Every structure is written in C-alpha cells, then in structure tokens.
Amino acid sequence: MDIELLYEAILAGILLGCFYAAVSLGLSIAFGLLDVPHIAHPAFLVLGAFATYVLVGHGLDPILGGVLLMPLFFVLGLGVYQFYYVTFERRGTDQGLRGLAFFFGIAFIVEVLLILRFGVDQRMVEAPYIGQSLELGDTRVPWRMIVAFGVALVLMLGLTIFLSRTFIGRAIKAVAQDEGALRLMGADPVRIKRLAFGLAVAITALTGALLIVVGPVDPGLGRIYIGRTFCVVVLGGLGSVPGTIVAGLILGVVESIVLSTAGAAWAPAVAFGILLLVLAVRPAGLFGR
C-alpha cells in the first residue's frame, strides 16, 4: 500500500476514532461504571440523530440541536433507570437474563418506531460545514469530521473534569467502585446511579447529533453501532475515559485502513472482529479496572 494513502487513512482514522470514542461515552458510563446491560445505547444514539434531524428541519444547527436535546434525554435516562431499578435491580430475581432481554426489547421498539415514522431511507442534515473540505496540501479533510472531532474532544475533556473534580462526578466513580461503602457514608447509591444514567443518555443525545453530522443515518444503523460502541468500551476497559479514547482511536484507524484497502463492504465486520478478539483474549480490556 502507498505510503501517501496510508498517511491519509491514518489521519482519517484519528478523526473517526475520536468520534467513535465520543459515541461510546454514554455506554462507558452506563455499562462500564454502573454495570447496567444497556444494549439499547446504540438505539438511543440513532434516536438522538433523528431528533436532531427533526430540529434541523426547523432551522437549527445540528450541534446546537443536540445540545438542546440533552435535558430531554437526561429526563428519559432518569426514567429508564428508575424503571430498570424498580423492576429488576430491586427484585434481584435473575436480573441478568431479563435485564438484557428488557434492553434488547427497548432497542428493537425504538428501531421499529423510527422505521414507522421515518421509513427505512437514509436521512441527512444540512449545515455550513457539511459538504465542504479543508485542504491540507494534497489531502482533503472534510469539515464535518473536524467539527465532530472538536465536539468530541470538548465532550471528553468536560466529562473527565466532571468525573474527577465535582462532587457528583466523584460520587459516580465511588458508586462504581463500592456501592456498599457509599451507602455506609450516608449517600444513596440509587440516586447517584440514576443521575449517572441520566447523564449517560444526555451525552448520547449530543453524540447522536454528531452521528448525523458525520454521515447519513437510517433506523437500522444502531445494529452496526452495537459492535462499535461495545468494542470501544470493552477494549478501553469498562468505564475509563482515557481508555475509551485510546480504544476509539484504535478502532478508527483500523477501520479506516480496512476501508481504503479491502473496501467498504468489509467495514462493518472490523469492530465486531476486534470485539470478538478482545473478548476471547483479554476481556478486561486495555485499561481494565
């Protein structure tokens, strides 16, 4: 393979990888930190993308639309966690299998509702930075990737600071480490987990907006992102933000190289292939707790 081409693939892969890390953040909190089997995460991501699509139809910028959706998705997250807690975690009866089936069912319902409302066609949005490219010498970098890259960086930086500097953020980390100890300190772990799950879903709204900025979206896209997001979260070591970034970059670069050598038809298998490999060889991931 041409060195020039490889260089371009790696550059595109880094931008793509940061985007993959960002779309996985919600799952990293919900599954990595809270141990909730949140298979519906990619479905919420696509839901966020379609909600953004509707807002853009009313003349909003997609990124701004994603930010405006965050409070709404935060409430959705609070509701979903409360429901999950009352029906599964509190009862404690065989929650493994049924909790999984519950989120799988939710994901399926979201997908079908989106199909019923929007059809199976791909949708995209218009914005000044979509369709234009930045020229760096011989290589062209699309602006939409640069915007997604920037928003992803801000989001990840903000989340890292939030988790390590604020009281609530530290409480979320504490609940992941030792729920019983948190209870002994007089804090309510369920309240913290509810807030954290709400935060995870709120972030998913903004990253859903990134999803539709980066490329066209159809209701079935969530299935491919099951692989990408779980690949990033598992490879990154469940709930570590730096791990998520590194894992996202690895996935982005590998996928981008496969894309430019083997062709686009093989791209969906890359994330799942890496995921299977990681699960078989090192399930704790690179930065395992």
Residues that bind other proteins (CB under 8 A): 31, 37, 39, 83, 87, 93-94, 96-98, 100-102, 104-106, 108-109, 112-113, 115-116, 223-224, 226-227, 230, 234, 265-266, 268-269, 272-273, 275-276, 279-280, 283
Residue whose CB is less far from other proteins, 43 or 127: 43
Structure tokens at 63: 């990124």
Residue whose CB is less far from other proteins, 238 or 249: 238
Residue whose CB is less far from other proteins, 62 or 248: 248
- CA dist 242 and 248 (Å) reads 10
Residue whose CB is less far from other proteins, 65 or 285: 285
Phi and psi angles of residue 34, each rounded to the nearest 5 degrees, phi first? -100, -5
Measured from the CB of residue 237, what is the shortest distance to other proteins in angstroms?
Answer: 13
Element (H, E) at 223: helix 221-236
Beta bridge partners of 136: 139
Q: Which residues of 229-256 are buried (b: 16+ CB within 10 A; e: fewer)?
A: bbbbbbbbbbbbbebbbbbbbbbbbbbb
Measured from the CB of residue 69, what is the shortest distance to other proteins in angstroms?
Answer: 23
DSSP 3-state of 284 = coil
Measured from the CB of residue 255, what is the shortest distance to other proteins in angstroms?
Answer: 13
- CA dist 232 and 15 (Å) reads 15
Measured from the CB of residue 263, what is the shortest distance to other proteins in angstroms?
Answer: 8
Residue whose CB is less far from other proteins, 144 or 194: 194
